[in-house]
Amino acid sequence: MPIARTGGTRLSYEEYGTGEPVVMVTGTGAPGRMWRTHQVPALTRAGYRVITLDNRGIPPSDPCPEGFTLHDMAADIAGLIEHLGEGACRIVGYSLGAIAVQELLLARPELVRQAVLMATSGRTDALTAAMTAADMDLADMRLGDSGGKLPPRYTAYVQALQNLSPRTLNDDERLRDWLAVFEMSDLDRSGLRGQLGLQLIPDRLRDYRRINRPCLVIGFRDDLVVRPRLSREVAQSIPGSTYTEIPGCGHYGYLERPAAVNSAITGFFAGRTP
């Protein structure tokens, strides 16, 4: 696995295919391999070289136990792009990764050719603040010395309720498959805890008016973690951006409805309006 050094921080990444580069940035607690099942094959078939990143805090990238900020994450993306030596890249960000990409668009716009921002927001509303505080308390409990680790079946159930759409929750066969995956792939708690607090962002919507790169914002209609109205606000703030909303999926829309998501991404990169 290649390693890039950015400002003293070691970041792991993977490369797939050939062609113009697309850098993909995941959400809270998620490794770069989350893109491999659906997005990497679709983008490589479309003729792109795909680079997936393990954000700081996610092994084997540096854990950074001293803490870090969204600006650090944006600087990491910038450092990776400079490490690749390809000039301005297309970038796909999801959830927390999309918020970090938005900060990159403000700080280093010359490194971005086009950006796709999925399940993103430009401010923290009351529900997001409450959810994040609860998740941080849970992470602290599981990291502490009390040995209070929740049963995998319980965490799988909560993860399904938070991240999947009614369309999937009401399909018994599909839901059983998802629950099995969630039980077997518990997120790394240390990486998750380090990133959770970054979801509590100030209102950045006014600042996004300065973004001057082509952007596609994708909302997921049944998303309970980042409700679509928050993503629409981002699109309304970025001049000239395009917004599309994909029905029948929750926060994991890129996994629930990958064909629709991939079509939106490749169409935007090719100059087609969703």
60-76 residue pLDDT tens: 998 877 778 899 999 99
**pLDDT above 80 (res 149):** no
Q: What is the mean pLDDT of residues 235-252?
A: 97
Q: What is the mean pLDDT of residues 231-248?
A: 98
CB atoms within 10 A of CB 126: 7
pLDDT tens track for 97-144: 999 999 999 999 999 999 999 999 999 888 888 877 877 777 776 555
Contacts of 74 (CB under 8 A, 6+ apart): 100, 101, 103, 104, 107, 108
Report all structural domains of the chain as residue ranges with CATH numbers, in order of start: 3-125+202-269 (3.40.50.1820), 127-192 (no CATH)
Q: What is the C-alpha separation between 142 and 152, in angstroms, rounded?
A: 12
**pLDDT above 80 (res 200):** no
Q: What is the mean pLDDT of residues 73-96?
A: 96
Q: What is the mean pLDDT of residues 171-196?
A: 76
CB atoms within 10 A of CB 84: 17
- What are the distances in angstroms from CA 184 to CA 142, 177, 243? 17, 11, 34
What is the C-alpha end-to-end distance of the chain, expressed in Å? 35
* pLDDT for the residue numbered 194: 62
**pLDDT above 60 (res 158):** yes
Residue at 21: amino acid letter: P
Burial 51-66, CB ≥16 within 10 A → b, else e = bbbbbbbbeebbbbee
Strand-pair partners of 11:
4
> What is the 3-class SS of 161-204, one letter each residue?
HHHCCHHHHCCHHHHHHHHHHHHHCCCCHHHHHHHHHHHCCCCC
* pLDDT for the residue numbered 145: 46
* pLDDT for the residue numbered 235: 98
* pLDDT level of residue 146 (50, 70, 90 thresholds): very low
**pLDDT above 70 (res 52):** yes
> How are the residues of the chain apportioned to helix, strand and coil, as percentages rounded to the nearest 5?
45, 20, 35
- Tell me if 15 sits within 8 A of 51, measured CB to CB: yes
**pLDDT above 80 (res 233):** yes
Kindly report the pTM of this predicted structure: 0.90
Q: What is the mean pLDDT of residues 234-245?
A: 98
* pLDDT level of residue 189 (50, 70, 90 thresholds): low
Contacts of 165 (CB under 8 A, 6+ apart): 220, 221, 222, 248, 249, 250, 253, 256
State the chain's maximal CA–CA distance in angstroms: 54
- Tell me if 209 sits within 8 A of 235, measured CB to CB: no
* pLDDT for the residue numbered 174: 94
**pLDDT above 70 (res 274):** no
Residues marked as catalytic: 95, 223, 251
Q: What is the C-alpha separation between 14 and 196, in angstroms, rounded?
A: 24
- What are the distances in angstroms from CA 187 to CA 50, 139, 144, 152, 155? 23, 11, 16, 11, 10
Q: Apex CA 198: angle with CA 196 and CA 204, to 5°?
A: 145
Q: What is the mean pLDDT of residues 81-110?
A: 96
* pLDDT for the residue numbered 262: 98
Q: Is 19 left (phi over 0), alpha (psi -120 to 50) or beta?
A: left
* Of 114, 53, 113, nearest in space to 83 by CA: 53
More confident residue, 235 or 181: 235
